[in-house]
Amino acid sequence: MSQHEPAGADARSYLDRQGAGGLWSWIGSVDHKRIGVLYLTLMVTMFWVAVTIGILMRIEQWTAGPTIMQPATYNGLFTVHGVIMIFMFVVPGLPAVFGNFFLPILIGAGDVSFPRVNLASWWFFVTGALLAVLSLFTGSGAPDTGWTFYAPYSLRTGTNVSLAVFAAFVLGMSSILTGINFITTVHRLRAPGMTWHRMPLFVWALYATGWIQVIATPIIGITLLLVIAERFFGIGVFDPAKGGDPLLYQHLFWIYSHPAVYVMIVPAMGAITEIIPTFARRTIFGYKAIAYSSLAIAAFGSIVWAHHMFTSGMGEAANLVFSLFTFIVAVPSAIKVFNWTATLYRGSIELAPPMLYALTFIFLFSLGGLTGVMQGALALNVHLHDTYFIVGHFHYVMFGGTGFAFFAALLYWFPKMFGRMYCRATAVVAWVPLFVGFNLFYFSMLVLGLMGMPRRYFDHLPQFHTGHSVATVGAFVLVLGLAIFFGNLVKALFRGERAPADPWGGRTLEWTLSSPPPVENFAAIPTITGGPYAYNPGRKA
Amino acid sequence: MSDPVHEALDHRDPEGARVGMWLFLLTEMLLFGGLFLLYAVYRGRYPHEFASAGKELSHVFGIANTFVLLTSSLSVACCLTALQKGQKRLCMTLLAVTALLAVTFLVNKWLEWGAKIHHGLYPGGPGLIGRPPGEVLFFGLYYSTTGLHGLHVLAGLIVLVVVLGLVAVDRVTPDDHVLLENAGLYWHLVDVVWIFILPLFYLTV
């Protein structure tokens, strides 16, 4: 615990009423902290919408045959579940919420480089979210293509694909602007003495993420625009009836969407890298290895896209090359896992709620990562492609990985962001159904997939019944955990105890500020004299 | 908006503004890159049909528009130098010339598309029915690429006019001209993309 008076304890907090107050002082604010909170609010809302849709799908699978809906409804639901979760929760989740809130603070800056662009980026996000929701209820039915919008079906279906695709395009613009902003901020606004190798590793992760966003997102932008042009004007570039090649759609889609999964996971890894040293009371093991592995993931992650297409008929040579790269891209992720565990070794571990969730992340992400490597093997991939194994793997990485990292980061930084402490015991209680329910749910999916259950079917054969029942029970347990988790935080917002400046004994810059931080962050821009995780005196950080 | 601390940051760091603009230009190039990638694949697949379809585009329009855009890039480059030397009036004149050339380009493009559409040469149009797939794809790509480029010309035109207004009211000055510089950079990007479009579509033979 920090004994000294935090800097700016007497200053106005960013949560205090500003100007005329009211809604506009939030949705028109260019303060990176307020924008982070805006993102958090909208994202958690969209998360719950998608969770509800997910639960409806699980109820549908409770019995064979139609349970509560018809096949067309199911198609719409899994599409919308995917679109919301991917484009509105896991892709922007950590960078937009915690990146916005903490990136400037962690490098000792007053704000990001382009505060107004940052606000514009949030407004793009709102617009995209509204359009996506609108696409469900207008036109001729919710889009039913799956979140991948594969041609030629996406060109032919009569459902409201154009609007959903345009929503994804707008969300992409939001993502690009955030990426540009973060890269520029890291280059230009580091405090004096904050050299590249003194930056907290979350900043490195955000920096790598920014580059992926900037380089990959325009490709999906043009691809989605072409889908719209194809639907309205029939230009033919993806339409086999006109000489176009649908396989090219898949290539262009995955040139973005594979790197996008690293947009989802790299900042999550960055947040975990902040939490582990704090609660192990040790300097991070292998600082540079972790920093550069983020960049390595960004680099290798952009040349593995076609491993989503092993069964699409690309040809042997392409399959072999992309299989090889897929194995290689697992290496930098593994480097991080080994560094985290090495940091724990001989640490003085405090199993506080953020740490519990962070450790859970390592376990679930490792499972997700390893099942991913399995799919990199060509022979096995043919068997697993388009089965529940893929869905299970994806949820282990994206929910077990990014989702749990989001929860861990929320528990870690909540007291800083809102100046209130939640009930720690309740956070631990919530972990039990979250962990148990999660594994019941998604491990069943892995098993079902190996047995041959295809993804995106609204119905199942009798031999899959047991697996589906276990998964549905798991899903309900998981949602119970989510309810306790978020209920605890919402309660803390209003009735939580006042949080001290440094409740966890952290060493990075955000803990030198009062909780919640003052409007200007730092009364005077600090001068940095050492590494970010100064736990071991006498040892170089 | 009530917060001058954060508002002020935008103007404090011209170098940062340049970094941000170059990153943005990178994303724009990648956006067109997707179209050029499709072009490369389909031209590799249908080389003869691309060549024959390309003959139907008007060299006159293509080369006239190249001339217009290259001249506008010159004028936008000169207007920055004029402002740096403190010649506000000359800067504004050159900006107006650039904007006028942008309008000329768009009018040309309008006439060119109009002529093509008049001949039924548009996706699903009577002029393309029964043509081999390579030619259909050529025109599909032609309309997508020049259409997207045209939208960028339009966006650039709006930016130029806004900056012209800001120069007039002294919000962009010889000491604080990064906005004009960035607008110029964007305009050059529009130009560079066109430099690729011209040979790929108009000069296929």
Is the model's pLDDT at A200 over the cut of 70?
yes
A430-446 confidence digits (pLDDT tens): 999 999 999 999 999 99
Cβ pairs bridging A and B (under 8 Å): 145
Q: CB of A235 within 8 Å of any CB in chain B? A: yes
A442-473 confidence digits (pLDDT tens): 999 999 999 999 999 999 999 999 999 999 99
Question: What is the rounded distance in angstroms from the CA atom of residue A343 to the CA atom of residue A348?
Answer: 10
pLDDT band at B53 (very low <50, low <70, confident <90, very high): very high
A63-89 confidence digits (pLDDT tens): 998 999 999 899 999 998 999 999 999
How much is the mean pLDDT over chain B?
92
pLDDT band at A10 (very low <50, low <70, confident <90, very high): low
Can you spell out the DSSP letters for A284-312? PTTHHHHHHHHHHHHHHHTT-GGGG-TTS
- Taking CB atoms and an 8 Å cutoff, what residues of chain B touch A214? 23, 26-27
Domain count, chain B: 1
Point out the residue among A111, A180, A237 whose CB comes nearest to the CB of B137: A237
Question: Is residue B10 situated within a structural domain?
Answer: no
A424-451 and A353-376 are packed helices; what angle lies between their axes, rounded to 10 degrees? Answer: 10
**Helices assigned H by DSSP within B46-177:** 47-54, 59-84, 88-118, 133-168
Is the model's pLDDT at A400 over the cut of 60?
yes
- Domain ranges for chain A: 30-512
B118 burial level (CB within 10 Å; 0-12, 13-18, 19+) = exposed
Is the model's pLDDT at A169 over the cut of 90?
yes
Q: Looking at residue A539, what is its pLDDT?
A: 46
Those residues with Cβ within 8 angstroms of residue A82's Cβ, 6 or more apart along the chain or in another chain: A146, A147, A148
Distances in whole angstroms, Cα of residue A355 to Cα of each of A279, A364, A427: 6, 14, 11
Q: CB of B141 within 8 Å of any CB in chain A? A: yes
- Taking CB atoms and an 8 Å cutoff, what residues of chain A touch B140? 235-237, 242, 244
Q: Looking at residue A276, what is its pLDDT?
A: 96
In angstroms, the separation between the Cα of residue A415 and the nearest Cα of chain B is: 23
**Would you give the DSSP letter of residue A421?**
E
Lowest mean pLDDT among A243-257, A339-353, B4-18, B166-180: B4-18
Q: CB of A226 within 8 Å of any CB in chain B? A: yes
Q: Write down the pTM of the prediction.
A: 0.93
Those residues with Cβ within 8 angstroms of residue B109's Cβ, 6 or more apart along the chain or in another chain: B61, B65, B146, B150, B153
Q: A97, A39 in Cβ contact below 8 A?
A: yes
In angstroms, the separation between the Cα of residue B171 and the nearest Cα of chain A is: 17
How much is the mean pLDDT over chain A?
93
Question: Is residue B128 situated within a structural domain?
Answer: yes
Question: What is the rounded distance in angstroms from the CA atom of residue A497 to the CA atom of residue A421?
Answer: 5
**Helices assigned H by DSSP within A316-403:** 316-344, 353-376, 378-384, 388-395
Domain A30-512 has CATH 1.20.210.10: yes
Q: Looking at residue A526, what is its pLDDT?
A: 93
Q: Is A429 left (phi over 0), alpha (psi -120 to 50) or beta?
A: alpha
B47-54 and B14-45 are packed helices; what angle lies between their axes, rounded to 10 degrees? Answer: 110
B195-204 confidence digits (pLDDT tens): 999 999 999 8
Q: Looking at residue B151, what is its pLDDT?
A: 97
Q: CB of B50 within 8 Å of any CB in chain A? A: no
Q: A159, A110 in Cβ contact below 8 A?
A: no
Backbone angles phi, psi at A387, to 5 degrees: -110, 175
Tokens standing for residue A286: 């292998």
Say yes or no: ipTM exceeds 0.90: yes
Is the model's pLDDT at B12 over the cut of 60?
yes
Instruction: State the first-to-last Cα distance of chain A, in angstroms, to the nearest integer.
Output: 20
Is A114 in Cβ contact with B1 (below 8 Å)? Answer: no
Is B15 in Cβ contact with A181 (below 8 Å)? Answer: no
Q: Looking at residue A35, what is its pLDDT?
A: 96
Lowest mean pLDDT among A24-38, A497-511, B4-18: B4-18
B158-196 confidence digits (pLDDT tens): 999 999 999 999 999 999 999 999 999 999 999 999 999
In angstroms, the separation between the Cα of residue B5 and the nearest Cα of chain A is: 7
Q: Looking at residue A6, what is its pLDDT?
A: 54
Is the model's pLDDT at B9 over the cut of 60?
no
CATH of the domain at B191: 1.20.120.80
Is the model's pLDDT at A9 over the cut of 60?
no
Is B9 in Cβ contact with A110 (below 8 Å)? Answer: yes
Question: Could you give the 3-state DSSP secondary structure of residue A52?
Answer: helix
Please name the amino acid found at residue A305: W
Question: Is residue B175 situated within a structural domain?
Answer: yes
Is the model's pLDDT at A536 over the cut of 50?
yes
B4-10 long-range contacts (CB < 8 A, ≥24 apart) are B5/A110, B5/A111, B5/A519, B5/A520, B6/A30, B6/A31, B6/A32, B6/A110, B6/A111, B6/A115, B7/A30, B7/A115, B7/A116, B9/A110, B9/A111, B9/A112, B9/A113, B9/A114, B9/A115, B10/A114, B10/A115, B10/A116
Average pLDDT over residues A253-277: 94
- Taking CB atoms and an 8 Å cutoff, what residues of chain A touch B123? 233-236
Point out the residue among B15, B20, B133 whose CB comes nearest to the CB of A242: B133
Is A242 in Cβ contact with B137 (below 8 Å)? Answer: yes
Q: Looking at residue A138, what is its pLDDT?
A: 84
Q: Looking at residue B2, what is its pLDDT?
A: 40
Question: What is the rounded distance in angstroms from the CA atom of residue A160 to the CA atom of residue A234?
Answer: 16
User: Domain limits at B78?
Assistant: 18-202
